[in-house]
Structure 1
Amino acid sequence: MTGYCASRLVTGVLGWNGHCLRAPSTVPLILQIRNTFILQRRTPPGLTKKNKRPKLRSRHYVYDLVEDTNLRKQENLNVILTSYVQGLGVKGDRVSVKPKLAYEKLLLPGLAVYATRENVKMYEESVDKEEKTPAFSSASVERTVGILSRQILAVVMNLETEWTLQPWHLRISFRKAGFIVPEYAIELPEEPIKGPNLDLEGKEFKITVTINKSETVPVRCRIHHWSTNPGDRLPYVQDHWQQTAEPLFPDNQKSFQSDQ
């Protein structure tokens, strides 16, 4: 052969004159991987004289794994938001999030930068010059408003004792549904709702909830009568929130139809 065509990673097929007849189909991809393992000798070597090499035997090359740094829990990463991010904050806010979330959702899309001294100083000056008008009073308000606007709250009232619907009734109903809502943040309809009255059973009305004394969101509610006597209890309605209900006040008919 008059020629040679080969390499450590790529080899072709040689012809009669030594030239490559075809290229390889695949080329291995070599990437640098950073791994750090903390090891400890199982048998420590003996003392050695100064400026002398230690006399090591095969038993001295047996190691025990102390720690694999890849399995170490990573600390949160501090970043500065460059624009509004739902659930985190507005431009200029410094947040601490998990590294995976920071890399994939914030740094790569350009929604945040590392919280270095230069970036902290730069964004403090830029935010001071701009009029900082956040869309919401806190980072979690937008998500809370969305959840409450889709909620259909079941208000369980007594079938045997007379009652007039009060904010504390709604506070307890919210607590049963997993929400902590103070009484001062609940605004009832102007017309009083009194019972027990089976004509109100399953009918829907709206209340207004104020979040952080700033944002307001309407919440749909349905009244359900309950009795301590099992014989007087009304039949259980499976998945009542998936069924359409009549409005308690006819004036709200259009608003309920738009929500549905």
Structure 2
Amino acid sequence: MYELSRHLRHFNRYVSLTGNQQPLLATFNGCNLLAKRTTFILKRKYPVKLLKYGETEFRLKGKDYVYDLVQDTEVVKKPSVKIVLKQYIEGVGLKGDVVNLPRNKAYNEFLLTGLADYATPEVLEASKKLKKEENKQATASSPFAQLTTKYLENFVLSIVMNKENPWTIQPWHIRVAFRKAGIQVPEHAIKIPDKPISGPDLSLENRDFVTTITVNGREKANVRCRIHHWSTNPSNRMPYVRYPGSIKTEPIFEADAPILDNIPLIPLPKEKSDF
């Protein structure tokens, strides 16, 4: 379209020089020229020669119209938008928090729905009051606290204990089991059952008990823990069980049964079909 309009303009100049008072663009109605806000930053590939002494102009050559593209503003990543949250949003922020989000997400999910405002000086001043209200109400300790508790409550923690040597479940056993699963949990945030669990005892194999994890000293998550006996002697190990976290088993303590019934198991993966 740009090339067509350029040729038409040159043709209009030619027509006006030949005496025709009606340029072609004025009579050509089949062409729709639409404005588009695009900017291309270019640089000449070959430098234009300088004027000699006494010259006022010279004719440009073909190579003088060759350009290299420096930047296309249409493909430049747009900066993020700073907004102020008007309420607690899980995984994003607390009430009154100032967050940076991608433009489309901030506009479609937060600004249009009234969950946030642009971070103008007036709104930033008002956000200080919102933060004070949030501290009094104490909705959540952090934007990701509830996400963390949900993740832990949907997790089946395997407690691997020795099959030959005697043991009693302690908080550090839970901490080590979490570390093996890629989760760092301090011992002071772990609460094990009051009744001791000792072994080795094969009647406890693949049976569950509940451990309470405290997140940021406020939110609590009940985690399903499952005992598994392990031996260094391969011939003395327990039989292999496929997808143990998806199998419902009996609790060690009957008092934990209502809590374990509300904790979901890991769903079975979909089997691949041959067709």
Q: TM-score, normalised by structure 2?
A: 0.76
Deviates more, 1:58-67 or 1:31-40: 31-40
Gaps of 5+ in 2: 1-27, 265-275
Kindly indicate whether the alpha-carbon contact (under 8 Å) linking 2:175 and 2:184 is maintained by their aligned counterparts in 1. yes
Alpha-carbon spacing, 1:107–1:31, altered in 2? closer, same or farther (3 Å): farther
Q: For residue 150 of structure 1, what is the aligned residue in structure 2?
A: 154
Alpha-carbon RMSD: 2.8
Which is bigger in relative contact order (C-alpha 8 A, separation at least 6)?
2
Partners of 1:130 and 1:223 in 2: how far apart?
Answer: 41
Q: State the shift of 1:65 in Å.
A: 1.1
Identity %: 42
Larger proportion of helix = 2
Kindly indicate whether the alpha-carbon contact (under 8 Å) linking 1:47 and 1:54 is maintained by their aligned counterparts in 2. no
* CA-to-aligned-CA distance 1:154-176 (integer Å, 9 cap, x gap): 11111121111111111111112
185, 191, 196: which one pairs with 1:187?
191
Alpha-carbon spacing, 1:221–1:53, altered in 2? closer, same or farther (3 Å): farther
Partners of 1:117 and 1:215 in 2: how far apart?
Answer: 34
Q: For residue 97 of structure 1, what is the aligned residue in structure 2?
A: 101
Partners of 2:219 and 2:35 in 1: how far apart?
Answer: 51
Q: For residue 39 of structure 1, what is the aligned residue in structure 2?
A: 42
Partners of 1:131 and 1:188 in 2: how far apart?
Answer: 31
Q: For residue 200 of structure 2, what is the aligned residue in structure 1?
A: 196
Q: For residue 241 of structure 1, what is the aligned residue in structure 2?
A: 245
Alpha-carbon spacing, 1:209–1:41, altered in 2? closer, same or farther (3 Å): same
Q: TM-score, normalised by structure 1?
A: 0.80
Kindly indicate whether the alpha-carbon contact (under 8 Å) linking 1:171 and 1:181 is maintained by their aligned counterparts in 2. yes
Gaps of 5+ in 1: 1-6, 11-27
Alpha-carbon spacing, 1:32–1:179, altered in 2? closer, same or farther (3 Å): farther
Q: Does residue 82 in structure 1 map to residue 104 in structure 2? A: no
Q: State the shift of 1:247 in Å.
A: 0.5
Q: Does residue 140 in structure 1 map to residue 144 in structure 2? A: yes
Length, aligned pairs only: 236
Alpha-carbon spacing, 1:193–1:33, altered in 2? closer, same or farther (3 Å): farther
